[in-house]
Structure 1
Amino acid sequence: MIEAVFQDHLTFLAFAITATLVAGIVAYLMAARRIDRAHAGFYGLWASSTIGPIALTTWGGSGILSFRCTINPSVTEVFTTTQGQLNILLFVPFGLFAVLATRRPLFGIAVGVLFTSTVEAAQATLPFVTRLCDTGDLVTNTVGIFLGASTGVIICHKFRYGTPLTPVMVRRTAIVGIATSLLIASTWITVIDPERAVVPAETPTASAHQVQELNLALSGAFGATYEVEEANFHNNIDGPSTLNAPLPGGFVELTWPDKEKLTVHFTPTSQGEGTYAYWIPGVSRPVRTADDAEQVATLFAKRQTPWGLRDSKVKVWPIDEKQDLGWVVEYRRWRGKLLMPMRLDILIEPSGRMTDLIARRVDDPKSLPQIKIGEEAAWKRFDAKHNLKPSDATRERPVYLVERHGDEWRIHWRLAARVGGISLSGTVDATTGEVRNAVQTPVGDQTPVVEEIPG
């Protein structure tokens, strides 16, 4: 987490260090009025170890309130990740200095657990925080507090200094703690929507040759910036198989064995989990308009994917109409009104960095089947498949395109309609009239697929 937050944010780093030092000095001066200076120093360090985690775990949010918290069922796995280990180190000082300052181990641990619980709840519910809430973080933070407190207990037994926190202060703090605990509990019950994390199933490892081909595809798009040492192979019975591997803050996927489509995704900076989006050397710059985004994407494409610009038309549209999350720049080739299979989509965030790349390098088919099904006939077959009356549904604009069916390129009508809160979709073969991939999904459950949007 520390590395992710600090990267490219020197101003924040300076602010966090300053705030931490100031909090420590103020706490020390206040404590030194009542107790000896050596003991007061631990109160100052405790204050500093409180401000540091607050700054790191609440700064740089996405600005989007999710009111969700991920429930991580794999308790032990979080300790094997870099973020989990850094979280432990981040909260060790809190537990240590809480015990050294108060000389009450159970009190220090209780305050620490309440502290990290408050932080996680705030990440999911406060508009000026809006970071990702995860029970895995809660577990690692708590372990860090226990480790620090255990070290503090050993030190307290070996060195005698000062006096423990008075019973009166303990009782007052307990009252505040109980009230805070009730507030957190009520927030979880009434506001936060828990989401169970899906533990990925074990997948076959890609061969050395497949990893080499994946790296060749990566280098073609990003030069020497990214290289993977191993990848997973997913054998898809219904479509092309894929190779995929994690990248810093994202992933890469390549269809196999055709190596036709490369998909790369990086965590957007707006999500507040660090800066991972790809900075295009010599090209990226802050973008404010769709034209700015198009210029950045086109310069990248000229350098890395010039095949996507040849005879293509470009369209730019915002990722979100209400929030400034960036733009989708898509390049498509057309034969009259017929959309060819080539795809090039580049997502540029306001910082000018790239968050997504979908590159499908396919030559236009030279021969295609005869068209026998027009638009109205396609809609009739679509309605029949979904048991619809035309008056019942709101139709969306059809997409007339070339898609591969089996080993053959065929012309299809991709259709979609909405009935109340249900979205209906499907493709109609423009030669045979066969309806394929007929799906009904709740509108709220739809996941936008960039490459399926006509240009």
Structure 2
Amino acid sequence: MFSAIFQDRIGFLITAAVAALALGFAGYKAARRYGTRPYAYAGLAAVLTAETAVTLFMPGGGYSSHNCVINHDIAEPFATAQGLLNLAMFVPIGFLGVLALRAVVPVIAGAAALSLVTELAQTLVPGIGRGCDSSDFLMNSLGGALGALAAWAYLRASRHEIKLNAHLRPTVIASGTVLALAAIAAGTWITPQHLDSTSLQFAGNDEKQAAQKAMNDAFGDRYSVANVQVQPPWQNSPGSLLIALADEQGNASLTWPDAKELTVTFETTDKTTSASFPVPGADEKKPVDADDAYEIAETYARRYFPAALSKSKHFVDPVGEKGELGWMVSWRRKNADGVLMPLRLDVQINTAGRISQLLTSSTEDPKDLPKVSVSQKTAEVTALKSITAEVKGTKLKVADSSLMAVERSGEWRAQWLVTFEDPAGETFLTVTYVDAATGKAESR
């Protein structure tokens, strides 16, 4: 994770290290002058400089969003690399703070105040753009408290005099002032976003086994899973497992916990590599047209996903402006009422005749779908009225509509998916679902 955060920022790291050493030395000299614990003050000055540099001055930030995520899952950051890193970053602040100041409560309160100010600055100050998250504040504050208590225990064991409640009155006054100012800033300029989870989480054995099984089902024993992270559900998106393959052969994602939909990427350019999957039985034949690509993809599908071929129609489309990325072979199935079923298979065959990308959904065809009673034209009119009411002032027209099976709160429904475009022909990001039985519209 360290390399992912600080990659391409060597210059910043050197600058931050020099600044931390310089201010650490300044803290040492000042403490020596006044005769109080110079090494502790030097360390405290250095770690405070490092924390400020990493959280407020590291390049790569964006605009000030004025949003703050309120994570309802208090336990989540304890299962994430980011959460543990936030905790670890403040442990030395708490530890060295107590060694330098010989006070516990002010240091704990100061660490929490520092984290609070940092989070507010990250979302309010232009150019920082690192976002505000309640989980970060929680882990920072906890790290500071753990470090402070560890230093208190160390000093007690070393028979140094120290009191837990030293400087209590000024600490309360200072903390109250910071809280009041933070509350004013939050109430005036910040919009809270309440979420049930915010970060990637560590995977357990069940998740790792599911990831490896999905890869084995799709490609035999050719690929090994190197790392798995859990992406919790967010808004209308399901949870998923983010999978990194061994030897940097590619990456994948698997919907979780249903483990129904697998997406795999081995290559994203026109350069074919050994990471792509050679289809058994296809004899590494290089396709020259769509028919050749279909033949290879069908050979793969019959071996690994034969259910996707039953009563399905296939489509072959070139990938890339000139087909330089190969061909995408897709299978889709509709029921007797023309409703598109959730089962799907997309196989991208590169110019070397190997699989470069795959998407498969193994969801069974839903039974007993409500009868379709809303026509396509009626659905489009309803959808256009609905979206117009939501985005007043923007003229839109229907771009396309299709009838598909969609799962809503554990129940499968037949719904019209309607997409829009503006007068310039630009695609509008929001789509509208119209229930094919009730006619109720819902935009997403």
Give yes or no for TM over 0.5. yes
In 1, Cα distance between equivalents of 2:375 and 2:278: 35
Who is 1:103 aligned against?
102
Who is 1:297 aligned against?
269
Who is 2:419 aligned against?
416
Who is 1:440 aligned against?
442
Who is 1:395 aligned against?
397
Q: 1:359: Cα distance to partner? A: 3.4
Question: Residue 383 of structure 2 contacts residue 433 of structure 2 at CA under 8 Å; is this kept in 1?
Answer: no
Question: Residue 89 of structure 1 contacts residue 144 of structure 1 at CA under 8 Å; is this kept in 2?
Answer: yes
**Aligned-residue CA RMSD in angstroms?**
5.6
Structure 1 residue runs of 5 or longer lacking an equivalent are: 235-241, 265-277, 284-295, 317-328, 335-340, 346-356, 363-376, 407-411, 429-433, 447-455
Which amino acid in 2 is paired with 1:56?
A: V
Identity fraction in percent: 21
In 2, Cα distance between equivalents of 1:390 and 1:107: 54
Q: How many residues align?
A: 340
Question: Residue 228 of structure 1 contacts residue 247 of structure 1 at CA under 8 Å; is this kept in 2?
Answer: yes
In 1, Cα distance between equivalents of 2:380 and 2:69: 39
Sort the Cα spacing of 1:384 and 1:305 in 2 relative to 1 into closer, same or farther, 3 A.
farther
Aligned ranges 1:297-336 → 2 under 5 Å:
297-299=269-271, 304=276, 310=293, 312-314=317-319
Which amino acid in 2 is paired with 1:313?
A: P
Who is 2:193 aligned against?
195
Which amino acid in 2 is paired with 1:126?
A: V
Who is 1:147 aligned against?
146
Who is 2:44 aligned against?
46
In 2, Cα distance between equivalents of 1:99 and 1:22: 21
In 1, Cα distance between equivalents of 2:382 and 2:161: 81
Sort the Cα spacing of 1:402 and 1:297 in 2 relative to 1 into closer, same or farther, 3 A.
farther
Q: SS at 1:298's partner residue?
A: coil
Aligned ranges 1:361-376 → 2 under 5 Å:
none
Structure 2 residue runs of 5 or longer lacking an equivalent are: 199-204, 245-250, 280-286, 294-315, 331-343, 349-355, 362-373, 390-394, 408-414, 423-427
Question: Residue 12 of structure 2 contacts residue 59 of structure 2 at CA under 8 Å; is this kept in 1?
Answer: no
Sort the Cα spacing of 1:300 and 1:54 in 2 relative to 1 into closer, same or farther, 3 A.
farther
Aligned ranges 1:339-358 → 2 under 5 Å:
343=346
Question: Residue 331 of structure 1 contacts residue 343 of structure 1 at CA under 8 Å; is this kept in 2?
Answer: no
Q: SS at 2:192's partner residue?
A: strand
Report Cα offsets for 1:246-271 as digits up to 9, x if no partner.
447x9722699997x5336xxxxxxx
Sort the Cα spacing of 1:9 and 1:146 in 2 relative to 1 into closer, same or farther, 3 A.
same
Q: 1:417: Cα distance to partner? A: 4.4
In 1, Cα distance between equivalents of 2:152 and 2:269: 57
Q: SS at 2:399's partner residue?
A: coil
Who is 1:452 aligned against?
none
Aligned ranges 1:150-165 → 2 under 5 Å:
150-157=149-156, 158=158
Q: 1:213: Cα distance to partner? A: 3.6
Sort the Cα spacing of 1:394 and 1:87 in 2 relative to 1 into closer, same or farther, 3 A.
closer
Q: 1:154: Cα distance to partner? A: 3.9
Question: Residue 71 of structure 1 contacts residue 134 of structure 1 at CA under 8 Å; is this kept in 2?
Answer: yes
In 1, Cα distance between equivalents of 2:140 and 2:384: 54
Report Cα offsets for 1:17-64 as digits up to 9, x if no partner.
22221221122223333325xx12221111111122223334355414
TM-score of the superposition, structure 2-length normalised?
0.57
Question: Residue 424 of structure 1 contacts residue 439 of structure 1 at CA under 8 Å; is this kept in 2?
Answer: no
In 2, Cα distance between equivalents of 1:154 and 1:208: 39
Q: After the TM superposition, which of the residue ranges 115-124 and 126-135 deviates more from structure 2? A: 126-135
Who is 1:252 aligned against?
253
TM-score of the superposition, structure 1-length normalised?
0.55
Question: Residue 74 of structure 1 contacts residue 199 of structure 1 at CA under 8 Å; is this kept in 2?
Answer: yes
Report Cα offsets for 1:105-149 as digits up to 9, x if no partner.
222222221111111222222232222422222222112211222
Q: 1:16: Cα distance to partner? A: 3.1
In 2, Cα distance between equivalents of 1:26 and 1:174: 29
In 1, Cα distance between equivalents of 2:160 and 2:41: 16
In 2, Cα distance between equivalents of 1:107 and 1:383: 63
Question: Residue 225 of structure 2 contacts residue 243 of structure 2 at CA under 8 Å; is this kept in 1?
Answer: no
Q: SS at 1:398's partner residue?
A: strand
